[in-house]
A = this chain, B = another copy of it.
């Protein structure tokens, strides 16, 4: 990293608070180097723990608050209590230029609403969208959006998601001209709902920085056949959670398979190198981090149950996107596309 990136970390967010976020930050720092932290939360909890992470301490500043957004509150209730909270102050640090990105494992609904309220959508962006990355057979992660911020969208929204997704893929994966597919129920031109077919027509005609390859299906998410998959938040969220569910089931059954009888247990020990490689490849902690794209500031949601490794991934994602100038690129590409698109929308 050439220039230092400052991460505003909601230290108190998530199921484990500072016990996961601080070691996660230390790990991210060790991996990426030139990074600074604004640690937002209760200094009475942070300061004693920080002593264990001297490298992190040396590059951190603490912003104290003892207000915490409840993980289990409904978004509406959480929002009412959000003023002055670690989540809110961390987001405001980005707005006020004290940090380049915010990372929080707190209440998802509250984070989404607060980020939108405080950071505001970028000029020209109609709907910010939630994007994340998925492991694939080829090892090259798939970027997918929207994962649930917008249930109902129109074709123009999907086109904007495609633009934001390709910028994410360029910034995160370093792909020059990412391939982009529209999630659908088949690959034939006539398949699917109107908003998806109309978006296909627009993406096929405009110049948007990515390489539109047509419709893709649910199995393409983990196939590694495309860099970016664009969906409405309805199908996207259902697919995301379906995939999480299968991951959980497989992990459960595999553990049972390798502990159920003495011979299998011994076999599991002997296979530990191979199995570790397997687990590493699909480890959801390595793919932790959902970004709200389309806002005037980088906001990364870390999974509520994240440990240090999960936190590290989310922080590194935020840092990489900040370093690559995600916001400026999204802003530029959205205006570039909206200028062309205004002509096209008439035709569909």
Whether A245 and B221, one on each chain, are in contact in the complex, defined by CB atoms closer than 8 angstroms, is yes
Given known A218-B240, A238-B238, contact A185–B151 (CB-CB < 8 A): yes
Q: A185-B234, A243-B242 are known contacts. Are A257 and B270 too (CB-CB below 8 A)?
A: no
Q: Is the CB of B271 within 8 A of A245?
A: no
A206 → B minimal CB distance (Å): 25
Per assembly, the copies of the chain total 2
B235 touches A222 (CB 8 A): no
**Contact among B185, B218, B249, B282 with A253 in the assembled complex (CB-CB below 8 Å):** B282
Determine whether A273 belongs to the interface, using a CB cutoff of 8 Å to chain B: yes
Residues of B contacting A250 in the complex (Cβ-Cβ under 8 angstroms)? 246, 250, 282
How far apart are the CA atoms of A131 and B197 in the complex, in Å?
25
Cross-chain contact A257 with B277 (CB below 8 angstroms): yes
- Chain B residues with CB under 8 A of A192: 151, 234
How distant is the Cα of A240 from the Cα of B221 in the complex, in angstroms? 12
A interface residues with partner B (beta carbon < 8 Å): 74, 135-137, 148, 151-152, 183-186, 188, 191-193, 217-223, 231, 233-235, 237-250, 252-254, 256-261, 263-275, 277-278, 281-282
Contact between chains at B219 and A241 (CB < 8 Å): yes
Q: Is the CB of B271 within 8 A of A271?
A: yes
A188: B residues at CB distance < 8 A: 74
8 interchain residue pairs of minimum CB distance:
A218-B241, A267-B271, A267-B270, A264-B274, A219-B245, A218-B242, A257-B278, A257-B274
With most chain B CB atoms within 10 A of its CB, the pick from A193, A237, A240, A246 is A246
Q: Which residue of B lies closest to A135 (CB)?
A: B249
CA distance in complex: A223, B258 (Å) = 21
Closest CB of chain B to A248's CB: distance in Å? 7
5 example contacts (A-B, Cβ-Cβ < 8 A) are as follows: A218-B244, A222-B248, A250-B250, A267-B270, A267-B272
CB atoms of A217 and B238 under 8 A apart: yes
Residues of B within 8 A of A248 (CB): 137, 219, 222-223
